[in-house]
Chain A
Amino acid sequence: MSKRYHPTQPWNWFLQRPAYVKFMVRELTAVVIGLYLIYLLCVLATVGGGEAAFIELAGKLTSTTVRLLHAIALAAALFHSITWFNLTPKAMPVYRGEDRLADPLVAFVMGYLPWIVVTILIVWGVCA
């Protein structure tokens, strides 16, 4: 029996194709979002400590570092959400008879539209 050559996957496989890089970024944004949620829970716990703790926290939240971390978390959340919304029609195709509805339409109805509505409700609730 002849000897076969068994290639091995290099450790930096994710750098071989732009799509692999995008995939890794998409997955890693989940870590950023997870860390932000932990941070948010800590903020809520601090707020529960009373008025003095809240005023002290409010002062800290206006610092450049905190603003930068929020910007990073927002960028990660946007990238994660948008890439997944765009993938939704692949996982949940919608047929009308023998015609499959266009992927952008399904992504909008299933992902972007509820996202926009919820965002408006939250902003409205905060501002009201």
Chain B
Amino acid sequence: MANETTIRFDIFRYHPQEDEPPRFQSYDVPYQEDWVVLDAINWIKDNVDGTLSYRWSCRMGVCGSCGMVINGEPKLTCAAFLRDYYPNAIRVEPLANFPVERDLVITMDDFMTKLESVNPYIVRDDVDDTSGGEYRQTPAQLAQYKQYSMCINCMLCYSACPVMGHEPEFIGPAALALGHRYNKDSRDQGTSERLEKMMEHEAVWGCTFVGECTEVCPKNVDPAGAIQQAKAAAAQHYFKRLIMPKGAGR
């Protein structure tokens, strides 16, 4: 590598079996203009240090598994080009606001529980009755929620949200945006039940509208906007329930 152009990587390392605090390890990686950070990490794993642990899969911004913090910014490593950082060093850390399993691998159990809590699926009373055919939807009805349905669960929004760091019980941007996505779906009949969960303090009202979840989202989902709209829906639901305890309806 003597005459080769290189770029330095400082990578967060943590080994659970070794009773030591996390540290940063430096690697010199060949600089390729068309490489992304994930390519460089794969090169390190294949050529220098096979013990480096991280998640990745599709390499094209669809699976959402390669999210890490690059120079302080939560990003998909498959979409972060080395040329945007060269010649400066690149610091890679696991997503913030999550426990770290090992190196760049975070624990997502809590996220999955929170995601499940908002019933992220279409709820119907007549789910067993298919005699009516498919549930049709106009383009205008689709437009109401389409943006919020693009989430790939990469959790970059959780890493960018300071409320997550301050109040770990906060349900968080992606789960709330997905809850809102189903509330806005004309085929869904589970809004009332979903809002009961979403109107809790650690749900929509935990959000202080910092807005960084939207800024870091690789799919332009706008979780911050979804949560503010969900706040309005939750407030309406609360008063409807107050006035009509049995008839708040869906």
Contacts and interface: CB of A to CB of B under 8 A. Distances in A.
Contact of A2 (B17, B138, B212, B224): B17
30 contacts: A2-B17, A3-B19, A4-B16, A4-B101, A5-B16, A5-B21, A5-B99, A5-B100, A6-B99, A7-B96, A7-B97, A9-B97, A13-B162, A14-B162, A17-B212, A19-B210, A19-B211, A19-B215, A87-B209, A87-B228, A89-B225, A90-B214, A90-B222, A90-B228, A91-B229, A91-B231, A92-B232, A95-B144, A97-B139, A98-B138
A100 B144 CA distance: 9
B143 A87 contact: no
B100 A98 contact: no
B143 A95 contact: yes
Contacts of A92: 229, 232
A115 interface: no
A3 B143 contact: no
A91 B234 CA distance: 13
Q: How large is the interface on B (under 10, 10 to 19, 20 to 34, 35 or more residues)?
A: 35 or more
Contacts of A19: 210-212, 215
Contacts of A90: 211, 214, 222, 224-225, 228
Contacts of A39: none
A97 B140 contact: yes
B166 interface: yes
Interface of B: 14, 16-17, 19, 21-22, 72, 96-97, 99-102, 107, 138-140, 142-144, 160, 162, 165-166, 208-212, 214-215, 222, 224-225, 228-229, 231-232
B143 A100 contact: yes
Contact of A93 (B72, B138, B229): B229
6 residue pairs, one from A and one from B, having the closest CB atoms: A9-B165, A90-B225, A91-B228, A2-B16, A98-B143, A5-B100
A62 interface: no
A98 B212 contact: no
Interface string A94-105: 010111100000
A13 B165 contact: yes
Contact of B16 (A3, A23, A97): A3
Given A17-B160, A97-B143, 20 more contacts: A2-B17, A2-B101, A2-B102, A3-B17, A3-B19, A4-B107, A7-B96, A13-B165, A19-B211, A19-B212, A19-B215, A20-B212, A23-B208, A23-B210, A27-B208, A90-B211, A92-B229, A95-B140, A95-B143, A99-B143
B4 to A, nearest CB: 34
A23 B56 CA distance: 33
